[in-house]
């Protein structure tokens, strides 16, 4: 059946183009889907524009919009196993991880549902007798939502839920590699009662299907999650129409280990920080920054743990992590490791494609540890987005902070120490949007997510995540209208 959803109808791509979706774990065909061009995206934008301008969604009360999001959450829970399976087939990630992701999607919808009617505006003191002044928050308009392949439905939920809670319309463009759960979500939104035209879905490559969401004058806001290079292009394209922009562009995230840390916990979490989902996580702790006094013993244990990690497909009960998303991405990671070795990094483990015949048809890459790294190396500064850990050392707290901040990114980081005062000093000094103390990776939908510096602009989740999708408006009313007397009065003329 057609997979583009435009103006309340499932449609085929105008040019009749399609794309095969294959599981990166073994190359099996998952689906063949429509491939949109600019023509299809322009039609979707027009539908969203009409739906916003006639108020069919923005006129729905915030309370009812919240109830709608709760209904969507109920449907997501109902179909959770189907959704998790679809996510695993598209991404190759383990089914247990996909189940966690779907549970987090439900949490995001429920949390945002609870916010929908909580920020309707405020009365302010105008400081003028006989007047009333208030600030209201109105939907920004038509939103272009562009989502990545590593957490397809989760990242979509972080955009779709607040966009709808605020009363906007949207066009969603998921990664061309992982469209299946976006298709499912659009079916559930329709089942929950979303009016035609309010939510639209286009599939395809960014250059064709996604680009109009950044440069089209009828799009009021674009939210993009993905790589830094593409994010810069999105921002530049949006500048032509001065549209609102929200960007989450990844990170090169420090995981700082002091010698007084709980070493068992720190080693275990250092592995999870970087090798979860084979490192294809924007907040991956890919920079291990360890105190020089414990470097040898700590890194030895990390290397031992990395060598034991079992690779496998999404439904292999023994697998601990899965493949990379594509052959092209695996080649990129391999080139990254080769470049690191050329720079002088020391390969402690991994660094190649596994030889296990059972993995031959997938895009697997061995968990890799690169020791002896310094911040002047490209491998420390650039994001691999793969299962690659670089190791640096520090001598004191000041150097740990300096190293942790020596990056153009600023998404996330962690500090491990039993000294609470030190932990909070370091957390305060790190220029990253999320800092964990004696932990790595947990997040809550109530807490804002996003980065400093070139990790992005704006926030998702939390109250600020909803604020990205509204415009504040000040309305001042005079309760006793009278001439101002500024021009044309006798006093002004004689003055």
Closest CA to 174 of 362, 19, 294: 19
Closest CA to 271 of 288, 292, 294, 290: 288
Strand partners, 223: 145, 246
SS3 298: helix
Please state, in angstroms and rounded to a whole number, the distance separating the CA atoms of residues 318 and 219.
Answer: 46
Closest CA to 457 of 305, 268, 193, 245: 245
Please state, in angstroms and rounded to a whole number, the distance separating the CA atoms of residues 212 and 387.
Answer: 33
How far is residue 78 CA from its own chain's centroid?
A: 24
pLDDT tens per residue, the chain (495 residues)? Answer: 889 999 999 999 999 999 999 999 999 999 999 999 999 999 999 999 999 999 999 999 999 999 999 999 999 999 999 999 999 999 999 999 999 999 999 999 999 999 999 987 899 887 878 889 999 999 999 999 999 999 999 999 999 999 999 999 999 999 999 999 999 999 999 999 999 999 999 999 999 999 999 999 999 999 999 999 999 999 999 999 999 999 999 999 999 999 999 999 999 999 999 999 999 999 999 999 999 999 999 999 999 999 999 999 999 999 999 999 999 999 999 999 999 999 999 999 999 999 999 999 999 999 999 999 999 999 999 999 999 999 999 999 999 999 999 999 999 999 999 999 999 999 999 999 999 999 999 999 999 999 999 999 999 999 999 999 999 999 999 998 989 889 976 555 555
Please state, in angstroms and rounded to a whole number, the distance separating the CA atoms of residues 449 and 441.
Answer: 12
For 25-149, where are the alpha helices, taking DSSP H only? 38-53, 62-78, 80-91, 95-115
Q: Say which of 3, 87, 97, 248 is annotated catalytic.
A: 248
Write the CB contacts of 352 (distance below 8 Å, at least 6 apart in sequence).
Answer: 334, 365, 366
| 248 has catalytic annotation | yes
| 82 has catalytic annotation | no
Whether 199 and 163 have beta carbons less than 8 Å apart is answered as no
* Paired tokens of 118: 């909580």
pTM of the model: 0.96
What angle do the packed helices 180-192 and 80-91 form, to 10 degrees? 160
* Paired tokens of 44: 């979707």
Whether 321 and 275 have beta carbons less than 8 Å apart is answered as yes
Please state, in angstroms and rounded to a whole number, the distance separating the CA atoms of residues 420 and 424.
Answer: 6
Q: Say which of 3, 35, 143, 282 is annotated catalytic.
A: 282
């Amino acid at each position: 059946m057609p997979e583009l959803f435009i103006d309340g109808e499932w449609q085929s791509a105008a040019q009749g183009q399609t794309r095969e979706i294959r599981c990166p774990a073994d190359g099996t065909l998952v689906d063949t889907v429509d491939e949109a061009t600019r023509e299809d995206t322009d039609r979707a934008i027009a539908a969203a524009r009409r739906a916003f301008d006639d108020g069919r969604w923005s006129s729905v009360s915030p309370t009812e919009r919240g109830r709608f999001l709760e209904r969507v959450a109920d449907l997501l829970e109902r179909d959770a196993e189907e959704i998790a399976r679809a996510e695993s087939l598209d991404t190759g990630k383990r089914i247990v991880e996909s189940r966690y992701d779907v549970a987090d999607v439900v949490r995001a919808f429920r949390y945002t549902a609870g916010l929908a009617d909580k920020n309707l505006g405020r009365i302010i003191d105008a400081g003028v007798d006989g007047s009333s002044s208030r600030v209201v928050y109105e939907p920004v308009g038509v939103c272009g939502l562009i989502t990545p392949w590593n957490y397809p439905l989760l990242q979509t939920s972080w955009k779709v839920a607040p966009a709808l809670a605020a009363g906007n319309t949207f066009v969603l463009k998921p990664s061309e590699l992982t469209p299946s759960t976006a298709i499912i979500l659009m079916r559930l939104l329709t089942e929950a009662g979303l009016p035609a035209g309010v939510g639209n879905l286009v599939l395809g490559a960014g250059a064709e299907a996604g680009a109009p969401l950044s440069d089209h004058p009828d799009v009021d806001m674009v939210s993009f999650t993905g790589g830094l290079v593409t994010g810069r292009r999105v921002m530049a394209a949006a500048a032509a129409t001065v549209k609102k922009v929200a960007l989450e562009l990844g990170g090169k995230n420090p995981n700082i280990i002091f010698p007084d840390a709980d070493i068992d916990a720190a080693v275990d979490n250092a592995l999870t920080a970087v090798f979860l989902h084979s490192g294809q996580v924007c907040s991956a702790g890919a920079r291990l920054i360890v105190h020089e006094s414990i470097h040898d013993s700590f890194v030895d244990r990390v290397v031992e743990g990395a060598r034991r990690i079992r690779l496998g497909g999404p439904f292999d009960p023994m697998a601990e992590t899965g493949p990379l998303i594509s052959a092209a991405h695996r080649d990129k990671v391999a080139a990254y490791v080769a470049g690191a070795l050329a720079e002088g990094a020391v390969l402690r483990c991994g660094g190649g494609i596994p030889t296990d015949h059972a993995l031959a048809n997938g895009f697997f890459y061995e968990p890799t540890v690169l020791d002896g790294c310094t911040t002047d190396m490209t491998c420390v500064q650039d994001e691999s987005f793969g299962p690659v850990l670089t190791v640096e050392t520090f001598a004191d707290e000041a150097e740990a902070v300096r190293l942790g901040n020596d990056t153009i990114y600023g998404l996330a980081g962690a500090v491990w120490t039993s000294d609470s005062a030190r932990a909070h000093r370091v957390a305060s000094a790190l220029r990253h949007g999320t800092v964990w103390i004696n932990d790595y990776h947990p997040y809550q939908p109530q807490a804002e997510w996003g980065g400093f510096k070139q990790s992005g602009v704006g926030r998702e989740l939390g109250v600020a995540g909803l604020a990205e999708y509204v415009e504040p408006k000040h309305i001042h009313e005079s309760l006793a209208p009278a001439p101002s007397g500024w021009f044309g009065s006798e006093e002004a003329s004689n003055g």
